[in-house]
């Protein structure tokens, strides 16, 4: 999760010769891209439309040729606590009408071309499909003689993509950000052959939230999302233990109260019509991953019995996931970035109290004592690992970083690799 802004991607191999033409016609419109060097690019292609707190649906029919030569607007973003130079989530345009994707295709006439699809990260709070330039990936594939395509897409983040509570459950709008991704994968299945791609050869992946998203889409669920691709590449984001949709009721109620919707008999409808600036002001006041509670986030995927059918670790332990090749990676020292916000934790007692209240509220005193023993105060055993007493920003910083890195990345990654290796090839 250290790389904050990386999209989800899909690798596809074509089923037919790819033409050099930079114009592609689909059932709902014709799209004019552009050729740059070895690549033909189609940017800002609408793949769905959705009103606020509504499921994605088919995009509107286009009456004229669509100019697909620039990225579409970013979805509304949550403001993050300022760490100068670390996060820059400002974009040329931001709009709720943001469900677009980009196709990067080799400008070749070779039937061996493949295509990836990539989902950005950002802790489900920020991010956009333009954040990372993936053209070098396609260029490198051409150099290797195994050309691929890349598709990147936008999905809704913050409360607009991950509203929780009983009202969201009743309306069937849980995990909208993941539903956007599924709709994008369905778009690939339906349309990618027009670009020369093979819908049977899709590989999905990403980093950070993009990786976590991919992990959830791989699990068995009521949307059959894991039937839309044949392999995954995950980096810094395994399937995590997350709360249920009902656990977010207080956050829904706070949003309703702060937008003056409490008196409405239909609070969800009131939220849909509230000024966007008002909604986002409330969202911006909620904790983000640079806040004291770190990655214990307010807005993000939740178990809803539909898109995420059950606890991810239960699905994995029971083999309820797509049986496909998996590559699951992580970086050293994953917990360091997310421990900057807890520098005021300086004692053993404060460390244990924080871990217990923020992450592991059901642990017993004996379990907490064992955890404290396994993660000692000794900075030479903390993260960044192998740096001795260096980087000790506070007495508990390296200890906290070691624990958070294991909690978020190392342990769930190893858990999935251990189980998945029993059913198909996996790589770490």
Give the catalytic positions in this structure: 208
Interacting residues of 37 by C-beta distance below 8 A, sequence separation 6+: 107, 139
The secondary structure of 305-352 as a DSSP string is: SSSS-S-HHHHHHTT-B--S-EEEE--TTTTSGGGGGGTT--SHHHHH
Question: Which H or E element spans position 166?
Answer: helix 166-171
Cα–Cα distance measured from residue 45 to residue 187, given in angstroms and rounded to the nearest whole number: 11
CA angle 186, 191, 196 (to 5 degrees): 130
Per-residue b/e over 394-410, b at no fewer than 16 CB within 10 Å? bbbbbbbbbbbbbbbbe
- First vs last Cα of the chain: how many Å apart? 16
Strands 150-153 and 116-119 come out as parallel
CA angle 275, 71, 5 (to 5 degrees): 80
Strands 150-153 and 66-67 come out as unpaired
Tokens of 20: 């050099």
**Burial (CB count within 10 angstroms: exposed 0-12, middle 13-18, buried 19+), residue 264:** middle
Closest by alpha carbon to 331, among 423, 418, 211, 422? 211
Answer yes or no: are the C-beta atoms of 271 and 155 closer than 8 Å.
no
Could you give the 3-state DSSP secondary structure of residue 426? strand
Per-residue b/e over 202-236, b at no fewer than 16 CB within 10 Å? bbbbbbbbbbbbbbbbbbbbebebbebbbbbbbbb
């Amino acid at each position: 999760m250290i790389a904050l802004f990386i999209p989800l991607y899909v690798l596809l191999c074509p089923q037919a010769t790819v033409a050099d033409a930079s114009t592609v016609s689909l059932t709902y419109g014709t799209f004019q891209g552009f050729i740059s060097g070895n690549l033909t690019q189609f940017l800002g292609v609408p793949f769905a439309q959705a009103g606020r707190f509504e499921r994605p649906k088919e995009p509107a029919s286009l009456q004229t040729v669509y100019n697909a030569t620039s990225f579409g607007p970013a979805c509304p973003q949550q403001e993050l606590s300022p760490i100068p130079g670390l996060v820059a989530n400002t974009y040329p345009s931001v709009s709720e009408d943001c469900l677009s994707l980009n196709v990067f295709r080799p400008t070749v006439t070779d039937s061996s071309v493949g295509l990836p699809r990539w989902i950005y990260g950002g802790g489900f709070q920020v991010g956009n499909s333009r954040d990372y330039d993936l053209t070098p990936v396609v260029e490198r594939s051409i150099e290797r003689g195994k050309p691929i395509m890349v598709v990147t897409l936008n999905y809704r983040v913050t409360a607009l993509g991950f509203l929780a509570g009983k009202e969201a459950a009743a309306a069937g709008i849980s995990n909208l950000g993941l539903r956007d991704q599924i709709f994008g994968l369905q778009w690939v299945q339906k349309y990618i052959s027009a670009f020369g791609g093979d819908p049977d050869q899709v590989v999905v992946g990403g980093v950070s939230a993009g990786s976590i998203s991919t992990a959830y889409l791989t699990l068995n669920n009521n949307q059959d999302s894991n039937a839309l691709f044949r392999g995954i590449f995950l980096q810094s984001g395994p399937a995590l233990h997350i709360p249920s949709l009902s656990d977010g009721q207080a956050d829904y109620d706070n949003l309703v109260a702060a937008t003056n919707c409490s008196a409405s008999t239909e609070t969800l409808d009131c939220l849909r019509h509230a000024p966007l600036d008002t909604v986002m002001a409330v969202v911006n006041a909620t904790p983000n991953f640079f806040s004291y509670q770190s990655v214990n986030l307010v807005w993000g995927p939740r178990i809803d019995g539909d898109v995420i059918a059950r606890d991810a670790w239960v699905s994995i332990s029971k083999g309820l996931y797509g049986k496909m090749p998996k590559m699951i990676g992580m970086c050293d020292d994953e917990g360091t970035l997310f421990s900057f916000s807890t520098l005021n934790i300086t004692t053993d007692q404060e460390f244990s109290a924080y871990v217990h209240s923020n992450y592991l509220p059901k642990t017993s005193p004996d379990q907490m004592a064992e955890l404290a023993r396994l993660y000692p105060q000794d900075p030479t055993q903390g993260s960044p690992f192998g740096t001795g007493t260096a980087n000790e920003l506070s007495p508990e910083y390296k200890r906290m970083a070691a624990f958070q890195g294991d909690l978020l990345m190392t342990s769930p990654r190893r858990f999935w690799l251990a189980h998945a290796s029993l059913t198909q090839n996996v790589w770490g």
